[in-house]
Structure 1
Amino acid sequence: MSYQALYRVYRPQRFEDIVGQETITKTLKHAVAEHKTSHAYLFTGPRGTGKTSAAKILAKAINCPNNVEGEPCEACDICHQIKSGALNDVIEIDAASNNGVEEIRDIREKANYAPTQADYKVYIIDEVHMLSQGAFNALLKTLEEPPKNVIFILATTEPHKIPLTIISRTQRFDFKRISEVDIINRMASILEEEEVRYEPEILDVIAQNAGGGMRDALSILDQTIAFALDKVTVEDAMQVTGALTQDFLHDYLVAVKDQSTQAGLAILQDILEDGKDPGRFVEDVILFSRDILVYKQKPHDRSLLKRAQLTEDFEQLADLIEEDFLYAVIKIFNETQHELRMSNHAPVYLEVATVRLTQLQRAQNKEPESGRDADQKTEIIKALQAQVNDLEDKIQSLSQEKDAKQPAQAAANQVQSPSPKRNRGGLTFTPNKSRVFTVLEEATKQDLDNIRELWPDLLNALSTTSRAVTRASKPVAASSKGAVISFQYDILCQKATEDQDLQNEIQSFLEKVSGQMPQLVYLTEAQWPEIRQEFIDQMKQEPVEKKNNYEIVEEDQKEQNKQKNEENQVISQAYELFGEEIVTIKDE
């Protein structure tokens, strides 16, 4: 006989064999024993929790002539035929491939015929949520007026997709996820029966990966046994499930705890090169950190640990790491877990999380602030003050417009005219026009779209201080070799130009993510329209073969002018509809 998977060999055959669903099995046994079974049942719950097995056992128990207290005898001919799938009175249907009206009508017609061998004809419809609306309507008629000696058992993982009219005509049983303890005990029993040598720790690893499903647990166990040579080890289970060894997790936390960014990134790189799933790495770090926290509260209680093994290294690590740092690890990796779902750049977010943790530890150690950090904070404060001054200027300008009784025209002039070159915070930035023109000569819309798409990820990857400087920046033109970045304020633009470390950080990120290291040139938002127009005017005077891409820059200018004109129209209409006294213009 060919080999059978463990989950098939050890499929439950009696209610008492079903693990983790004691309330449900007890209720069904009593119903059978007292002859109070319903004509229709609905079994719901996650995959691998025993829904279909319970349906088959119920079919046996109802029809077994020798059932004892609701349990099938497993010895009679009826029990044997149902177990092998040979009894014509117990019909299993997969609704995923038989979901039409005609299939349900055929069931309804055949249900009118009396059972041939058993006392009850039982229809088990798996994945019933896959039925079409027409099929549900056809089934509803049968459930409203069920034929004598016919029982329907509907099973599904998605009960919310089943019409309420169907649910209300069934007895519903919700199967829950099976606890890790129950899964471990069941696997241990099977391994002993199969006479397999194993390390007890493999049961924890597999149970953690089963997600509360016994079938998944037995499938992983089956694969692990096949992978192992003589004795099933933890390393075998780790390889099969893709989980990380405890040594990796231990070394990673030690590295970030010791503020060693280089060591932490090196360990992370080894993990990713080994083919480990980034999402799984995040989950393992969270669980491992949780285990350390729990251990610190209640040492030596192995039953509370979900991911870690109670070793000497683990105990030393628990003594070394403070609780506050573990809270921070869990918080940062929870945020990273969410970011991974929204991005295709998983390694980048893991690297950022690693760097954040090493810097966080420095902050917790309360290192004295360097003179450079103090200067950077002073410049940021100046920039914020410049924002306040700018807002005051706008308020004064709006007030003057009101006095002049020309609100719409004044607003249009204000939007269409480029912002004057203003001395913000005592500094006027002077851009490098020749470098800007060099970028514009080869600029393409595709290069600009590419760097704009990466810019938010870049800002998140920068250090806190660098992010504060570049937060009010955006790419406005780009080629394959360079990019023009505009800043809202002169002082921040000057800072970015002078800070070589910041420029290296930005270029390193862009090279890592896009494979290119563009040369960056900076200017302010107020200067960009003027320089762009100067470039357009200059290129129009050049021969045709030298005009290159200035039309792209000109098209970008036209698009911005179009948006400004639309804003002017909205402002004018608002004044006309509601009056000057009511309308307030806010810049966002």
Structure 2
Amino acid sequence: MYRALYRVWRPQRFDEIVGQQMITQTLKNAIVTHQTSHAYLFTGPRGTGKTSAAKIFAKAINCHHLVDGEPCNQCDTCQAITKGQLNDVIEIDAASNNGVEEIRDIRDKAKYAPTEADYKVYIIDEVHMLSTGAFNALLKTLEEPPANVIFILATTEPHKIPLTIISRTQRFDFRRITAKDSYERMVYILQQKDVSYDEKALRVIAQAAEGGMRDALSILDQVISFGDNEVTLDDALMVTGSVTKKLIADYMEEVTGHVTKPALETMRQILQEGKDANRFIEDLISYTRDVLLYQQAPEMVDSVAMGEDDQRFKEFASSIDAEVLYQMIKTLNDIQQQMRFTTHPDVYLEVLTVKLAQLDGQSQAQAKTAQVAPDDPTVQKLAQQVQQLQSELTTLKQQGGARPAPTKPKAAPRNGPVVKKVNVSQIYPILDSAKKNDLLKIRDVWGDLMNILSVTQRALMHVAQPVAASDDGLVVAFDYAIIYQKATDDQTLIDALSNGLDRLMGQSPKIVCVPKDQWPQIRRDYLATHQPGGAPAKEQPEKAAPVVDQAKNMFGDLVEVKPD
């Protein structure tokens, strides 16, 4: 039965792990000096050697014939671990065993001494998939680890792992494997298999793998099968969906030369050949990045076109403006995001081609440095206005700095958001029966109420707070008028607040929103027109003290009394 290349050529020694020399050397030194930890966390992108390193570590720490920290791979223990037949090395997929019971089972069994090896090693792959309860169960074991037990946690998403777990492990971050390292590993494997290959094809595969050695070997496997045990450039381009360097160069020269029609024809030719649209965008970004790097530091681009001596590339790099390249990368990134979910990538690529052909890096720089002619009518008009203002200022100073007549407050700009006017007829009935105790009860459960809301609703209510409450009503003030407007129009949010209060307090009050900056005036207007008994304040000036008492009863410590 045929076995995939990435399985046949899986590393069996630390030295065979590609592109992670610092990590492998550290692990070997720890084993040789007997300074190993009880828990390790291996993080990094897929296919970079995390699980392979964990298995090699399990072999090395249990091997009695170590050579410079490397397992011998000959003894019974090493061979049993390689075949996955040693009971003391347990590999668990957390994606399918992520419950509390599974981790408790591990915790219970970890207490028993290893039966065949020196150390019992638990390798938990994709550990970020564990549930909260499972993490808590695992945490207890990591806090008080049994003797001769080692945990190795592997994940591609370390940000999902609780900090309490991370702090109890030694963390190793596996980096993406460079295209050069992937290329050299593939050359070694093909030489061992005695398979003929085209170097350019391997470079295309190394770029398409995007830093994953397993992905590179999987693509190589496909190319070998597609090409009948031979690796050719055409087959590699076909399998990966990549575009030839010649077509990329043609396209780049055409769009930067502002010739739209030939660029569209080249783009259509690329699609007609069955090339992947997203891979085409990736290739363009990679090519543009190489050009930028070559312009700034040629020695850093030792793999321009993956090591080819491309005179055409060098001539293009010396002729193109860096500002155009910056704009191209931004445009490419924008289109790439828009293409993620489309079923018509050709439309986006046509739009992209037209955009790129219209870019002019010098236009922005020229706009910044452009100077307006002194005889421009607009300049002359502005100069007259400045002269008139200076004359008026001189006159005012001569008059002793007399204050100008008060001006009317500026109206809100017409192009700003129109904020809905507050409906005080809905607020006043609430204030009629508002009590300080009702407001305090709402404030006590306000935090719990926020937790009930969705993330989007919680974000809106982050700038809001209750300011008045009665048995059947609640006034909520918003820090910003625009958020007040959005909340007022969001009936779903209002319903969620009302239902949440019903769950927490057993009552479902009517909720009215106000902008925070208008709330003090609304409160003053109410107190001025609503005395106990319904009489206006101006008819009973001697009743000022009861008004203050009433305000304190309704609003509590929010009331500030100032003398006239």
**Deviation of residue 54 (structure 1)?**
0.9
Q: Would the alpha carbon gap of residues 166 and 32 (structure 1) be closer, same or farther in structure 2, given more than 3 Å must change?
A: same
In 1, Cα distance between equivalents of 2:114 and 2:271: 59
Equivalent residue, structure 1, for 2:156: 157
Amino acid at match of 2:54: A
Equivalent residue, structure 1, for 2:108: 109
Q: Would the alpha carbon gap of residues 310 and 132 (structure 1) be closer, same or farther in structure 2, given more than 3 Å must change?
A: same
**Deviation of residue 157 (structure 1)?**
1.0
Equivalent residue, structure 2, for 1:23: 22
Equivalent residue, structure 1, for 2:217: 218
In 2, Cα distance between equivalents of 1:218 and 1:249: 25
**Deviation of residue 272 (structure 1)?**
2.9
Amino acid at match of 1:202: A
1:335 aligns with 2:334: yes
Q: Would the alpha carbon gap of residues 352 and 283 (structure 1) be closer, same or farther in structure 2, given more than 3 Å must change?
A: same
2:243 is paired with a residue whose SS is coil
Amino acid at match of 2:97: N
1:186 aligns with 2:185: yes
Amino acid at match of 1:56: K
Amino acid at match of 2:160: K
1:157-200 deviations in whole A, cap 9, x for unaligned?
Answer: 11111122222222221111112221111111111111111111
Q: Would the alpha carbon gap of residues 312 and 161 (structure 1) be closer, same or farther in structure 2, given more than 3 Å must change?
A: closer
**Deviation of residue 203 (structure 1)?**
2.2
In 2, Cα distance between equivalents of 1:230 and 1:45: 32
For residues 536-551 of structure 1, what are the structure 2 equivalents within 5 Å?
none
Equivalent residue, structure 1, for 2:243: 244
In 2, Cα distance between equivalents of 1:336 and 1:575: 49
In 1, Cα distance between equivalents of 2:299 and 2:409: 75
Q: Would the alpha carbon gap of residues 96 and 274 (structure 1) be closer, same or farther in structure 2, given more than 3 Å must change?
A: same
Amino acid at match of 1:290: R
Larger deviation: 355-364 or 324-333? 355-364
**Deviation of residue 57 (structure 1)?**
0.8
1:81 aligns with 2:106: no
Q: What TM-score does the superposition give when structure 1 sets the normalisation length?
A: 0.59
In 2, Cα distance between equivalents of 1:76 and 1:300: 47
In 1, Cα distance between equivalents of 2:47 and 2:20: 12
1:267-289 deviations in whole A, cap 9, x for unaligned?
Answer: 22232344433332222122223
Total equivalences in the alignment: 384
For residues 144-543 of structure 1, what are the structure 2 equivalents within 5 Å?
144-229=143-228, 231-295=230-294, 303-305=302-304, 309-311=308-310, 313-315=312-314, 317-318=316-317, 321=320, 323-341=322-340, 346-360=345-359
**Deviation of residue 315 (structure 1)?**
4.9
In 2, Cα distance between equivalents of 1:178 and 1:82: 26
In 2, Cα distance between equivalents of 1:68 and 1:3: 32
In 2, Cα distance between equivalents of 1:148 and 1:315: 61
1:215 is paired with a residue whose SS is helix
Q: Would the alpha carbon gap of residues 103 and 360 (structure 1) be closer, same or farther in structure 2, given more than 3 Å must change?
A: closer
Contact kept? 1:252, 1:264, Cα under 8 Å: yes
Q: Would the alpha carbon gap of residues 362 and 578 (structure 1) be closer, same or farther in structure 2, given more than 3 Å must change?
A: same
Identity among equivalent pairs (%): 59
Q: Would the alpha carbon gap of residues 264 and 123 (structure 1) be closer, same or farther in structure 2, given more than 3 Å must change?
A: same
Contact kept? 2:89, 2:120, Cα under 8 Å: yes
**Deviation of residue 35 (structure 1)?**
1.6
In 1, Cα distance between equivalents of 2:33 and 2:409: 90
Equivalent residue, structure 1, for 2:89: 90
**Deviation of residue 216 (structure 1)?**
0.9
Equivalent residue, structure 1, for 2:68: 69
Contact kept? 1:288, 1:308, Cα under 8 Å: no
Contact kept? 1:43, 1:153, Cα under 8 Å: yes
Contact kept? 1:92, 1:124, Cα under 8 Å: yes
Amino acid at match of 2:279: R
1:79-121 deviations in whole A, cap 9, x for unaligned?
Answer: 1111111111111111111111111121122222221111111
Contact kept? 2:238, 2:275, Cα under 8 Å: no
2:302 is paired with a residue whose SS is helix
Q: Would the alpha carbon gap of residues 111 and 318 (structure 1) be closer, same or farther in structure 2, given more than 3 Å must change?
A: closer
2:122 is paired with a residue whose SS is strand
Structure 2 regions of 5+ residues with no counterpart?
366-406, 412-419, 422-513, 525-564
In 1, Cα distance between equivalents of 2:362 and 2:58: 65
1:310-336 deviations in whole A, cap 9, x for unaligned?
Answer: 345445545665555444433432333
1:244 is paired with a residue whose SS is coil
Contact kept? 2:324, 2:361, Cα under 8 Å: no
In 1, Cα distance between equivalents of 2:333 and 2:278: 11
Contact kept? 2:13, 2:70, Cα under 8 Å: yes
In 2, Cα distance between equivalents of 1:95 and 1:14: 25
Contact kept? 2:92, 2:124, Cα under 8 Å: yes
1:36 aligns with 2:35: yes
Equivalent residue, structure 2, for 1:126: 125
Q: Would the alpha carbon gap of residues 343 and 235 (structure 1) be closer, same or farther in structure 2, given more than 3 Å must change?
A: closer
1:340-377 deviations in whole A, cap 9, x for unaligned?
Answer: 3486664333323322333346987x9xxxxxxxxxxx
Q: Would the alpha carbon gap of residues 264 and 79 (structure 1) be closer, same or farther in structure 2, given more than 3 Å must change?
A: same
In 2, Cα distance between equivalents of 1:315 and 1:401: 60
Amino acid at match of 2:134: A
Larger deviation: 243-252 or 189-198? 243-252
In 2, Cα distance between equivalents of 1:134 and 1:328: 48
1:30-56 deviations in whole A, cap 9, x for unaligned?
Answer: 111122211111111111111111111
1:385-408 deviations in whole A, cap 9, x for unaligned?
Answer: xxxxxxxxxxxxx98999xxxxxx
Contact kept? 2:293, 2:301, Cα under 8 Å: no
RMSD between aligned alpha carbons?
A: 3.5
2:113 is paired with a residue whose SS is coil
In 1, Cα distance between equivalents of 2:90 and 2:229: 42
**Deviation of residue 578 (structure 1)?**
11
Contact kept? 2:264, 2:350, Cα under 8 Å: yes
Equivalent residue, structure 2, for 1:57: 56
Q: Would the alpha carbon gap of residues 37 and 350 (structure 1) be closer, same or farther in structure 2, given more than 3 Å must change?
A: same
Q: What TM-score does the superposition give when structure 2 sets the normalisation length?
A: 0.61
2:123 is paired with a residue whose SS is strand
1:431-461 deviations in whole A, cap 9, x for unaligned?
Answer: xxxxxxxxxxxxxxxxxxxxxxxxxxxxxxx
Contact kept? 1:246, 1:308, Cα under 8 Å: no
Amino acid at match of 1:104: I
In 1, Cα distance between equivalents of 2:294 and 2:357: 23
1:200-226 deviations in whole A, cap 9, x for unaligned?
Answer: 112221111112111111111111111
Q: Would the alpha carbon gap of residues 209 and 575 (structure 1) be closer, same or farther in structure 2, given more than 3 Å must change?
A: same
Q: Would the alpha carbon gap of residues 199 and 148 (structure 1) be closer, same or farther in structure 2, given more than 3 Å must change?
A: same
Contact kept? 2:98, 2:131, Cα under 8 Å: yes
Equivalent residue, structure 1, for 2:4: 5
Contact kept? 2:327, 2:361, Cα under 8 Å: no
In 2, Cα distance between equivalents of 1:83 and 1:362: 57
Equivalent residue, structure 2, for 1:522: none
Equivalent residue, structure 1, for 2:559: none
1:303 is paired with a residue whose SS is coil
In 1, Cα distance between equivalents of 2:306 and 2:408: 65
2:151 is paired with a residue whose SS is strand
